[in-house]
């Protein structure tokens, strides 16, 4: 089945710096990709969903890049602030009728003032 590797497991940056989190996956048929943010003790909050073969999506303070050729998905927080401190997870959805999501192990981001 699908395997998702997420790096790095921990990331510490200064306020205003950029932070990049990367996921690689194995199933070339995977079709939908998601980034979630999870604050301590809370549920998962959807940041962005990506579908196209190569796509750059921009949200509020972050950019998501999908490269299906390399089977790589990345999240770039362009100017991190302390409120971005949380765990971030990528998730890959199979292109089947199960709708299953396979998650990376997460990245704990700490943004220091």
Partner 1 sequence: EAAVTQSPRSKVAVTGGKVTLSCHQTNNHDYMYWYRQDTGHGLRLIHYSYVADSTEKGDIPDGYKASRPSQENFSLILELASLSQTAVYFCASRGGHNTEVFFGKGTRLTVV
Options 27-35, 54-62, 66-74, 75-83: segment touching partner 1 (CB under 8 A): 27-35
Q: Which of 29, 69, 97, 113 binds partner 1 (CB under 8 A)?
A: 97
C-beta neighbour count of 54 within 10 angstroms: 11
Note whether 64 and 72 are within 8 A (CB).
no
CB of 32 to partner 1, least distance (A): 6
Residues with Cβ within 8 Å of 86's Cβ and at least 6 positions away in sequence, in order, are: 37, 38, 39, 40, 108, 109
- Contact residues toward partner 1 (CB under 8 A) are 1, 4, 6, 9, 31-32, 34, 42-44, 46, 49, 51, 89, 91, 93-106, 108
């Amino acid at each position: 089945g699908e395997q998702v590797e997420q790096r790095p497991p921990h990331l510490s940056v200064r306020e205003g710096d950029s932070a990049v989190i990367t996921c690689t996956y194995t199933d070339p048929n995977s079709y939908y990709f998601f980034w979630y943010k999870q604050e301590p003790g809370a549920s998962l909050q959807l940041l962005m969903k990506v579908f196209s073969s190569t796509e750059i999506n921009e949200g509020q303070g972050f950019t998501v890049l999908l490269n299906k050729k390399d089977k790589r998905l990345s999240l770039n927080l362009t100017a991190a602030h302390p409120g971005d401190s949380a765990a971030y997870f990528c998730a890959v959805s199979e292109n089947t009728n199960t709708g299953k999501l396979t998650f990376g192990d997460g990245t704990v981001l700490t943004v220091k003032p």
